[in-house]
Amino acid sequence: MRVQQWLRQQPDFLKLWSGQTISQFGSGITGSALPLTAVLVLEAPPFQMGLLVAAEALPFALFGLFAGVWGDRLRRRPLMIGSDVGRAVLLVSIPVAAMLGRLQIGQLFLVAALTGVLTVLFDVAYQSFLPGLVSGERLLAANSRLAASAATAEIVTPGLAGVLVQLVSAPLTLLVDAVSFLCSAGSIALIRREAAPVRSPVRGTVVRDIAEGLTTVARHPLLRAFAGFSVTRSFFGNWIGALYALYVLHDLALGPVLLGVTVGIGGLSNLLGTFLVGPLTRRCGIGPIVLATVLAGSLTVFLIPLAHGPLLMGFGMLALCQAFDAGQPIYEVNALTLRQSITPPRLLGRVNAAMQVLEGGVGPLGAIVAGLLASQIGVRPTLFGAALGCCLSIAWLLSSPLHNLRTMPAAPVGDMGLGTRWDP
């Protein structure tokens, strides 16, 4: 039976997928509507806008490791439902306060921070819950479907949010996300399969549990390679993220329209990549396809600082670089599926959280370094440095056993998850 046919016959996974898809679209709308509420309703200055972005991002760095402990100690399905309901209640408070004329910037900070905490809890729990619904090659297909939903939402929601804000106001637009979280909670509540929390033989302190998750990542050759690659790529990738718009508009003088087109090409190619994960992985093997796409994506990053000449030439080089974003989901879906397959269930929440914190924690630092460096040596040389850093990040994967891996590993054996099946 084909994997796609099998997935369609799995009601529990379809409930999770449908709920997550609706929630992704709602969250994408909030990503635009929340800052627009601050700007259009409260007339927030730039400093407060920066604080709002920080309030959304900090929970991932400060709370992520603790969320991993909870994800391993508590039942994951109720944890996801509670996180969804909590986020819905928090978001509803903003339009209610706006209608009563009592909305203040402090409430936006609080809602952004608390929503971020609940999002961390949900993400850790759902990534650890999914392997209980599907496994093996089917887990790869399930993750690729979830990634496709996220990529589609990323493309569609900015424009949709703008339309809704124009029609009903920014605060009322947040009700869409609140409803989406309730739909997600309802879908998860309908899942029949329930697993008890996977408890350690000896329950330690929170600090000890966190250390165990980090140690697992550090000791396992594949997890360590994924962590090192993600941290390095996130650091240098944020150099590009921080400077890309400035470079395109000022150095290349392409204008806002072509800037938007290049970003749109990246979004569409990312979506295309989610549909190529399964076929390419089955045809080429996990290790070869991951290494090939990562290498290709890293080399094409050099097209950004190399872009020059007539307008169409510069635009074409940027568009070609963005087209290789199709390789990003091929890496991410395979890396997540491998992590879920080789990590012992009792450690999965903490390992997922550790990966998120390590990758997300260096992102803001990378953006700051990029700004400081560009002010000293210029934007284009800094982007060359970012491209070189992205290429160097591949060393983590090349020095791991990944190149020998052809098929999805069998279930982990032992706490280190070293009982994997290597098919050279």
Query: In one letter, which amino acid is 416?
Result: M
Spell out the domain ranges in the chain.
3-194, 212-404
- In DSSP notation, 136-154 reads THHHHHHHHHHHHHHHHHH
Q: Which helix H or strand E contains 333, and what residues bound it?
A: helix 327-342
d(CA 156, CA 246): 24
Three-class DSSP labels, 101-115: CCCCHHHHHHHHHHH
In this structure, what DSSP letter does residue 42 have? T
Q: How far is CA 394 from CA 48, 130, 220, 244, 296, in A?
A: 38, 28, 17, 22, 11
| Per-residue pLDDT, 419 | 39
CB 213 within 8 A of CB 350: yes
Residue ranges in 190-220 assigned as alpha helix (H): 206-219
d(CA 275, CA 22): 19
For 108, phi then psi, to 5°, come to: -65, -40
29-41 per-position pLDDT tens digit: 887 788 888 888 8
Which architecture, in CATH terms, is 3-194? Answer: Up-down Bundle (1.20)
CB 338 within 8 A of CB 285: no
| Per-residue pLDDT, 416 | 40
Q: How many residues does the chain have?
A: 424
Two tokens, residue 26 = 């709602």
3-state SS class at 201: coil
240-296 per-position pLDDT tens digit: 887 888 888 888 888 877 887 888 888 899 899 999 998 998 899 899 999 999 999
Per CATH, 3-194 and 212-404 having the same topology is answered: yes
d(CA 297, CA 302): 10
d(CA 56, CA 111): 9
| Per-residue pLDDT, 182 | 92
d(CA 269, CA 295): 17
- Which residue's entry shows tokens 């909305």? 103
- pTM attached to this predicted model: 0.82
Distance of alpha carbon 178 from its chain centroid, rounded?
20
- In DSSP notation, 73-87 reads HS-HHHHHHHHHHHH
| Per-residue pLDDT, 136 | 65
CB 171 within 8 A of CB 46: no
d(CA 353, CA 196): 19
| Dihedral over alpha carbons 173, 179, 185, 188 (to 10 degrees) | -100
| Per-residue pLDDT, 28 | 82
Q: Which CATH topology does 212-404 take?
A: Growth Hormone; Chain: A; (1.20.1250)
d(CA 318, CA 240): 12
Low-confidence ranges of the chain (pLDDT < 50): 1, 196, 201, 413-424
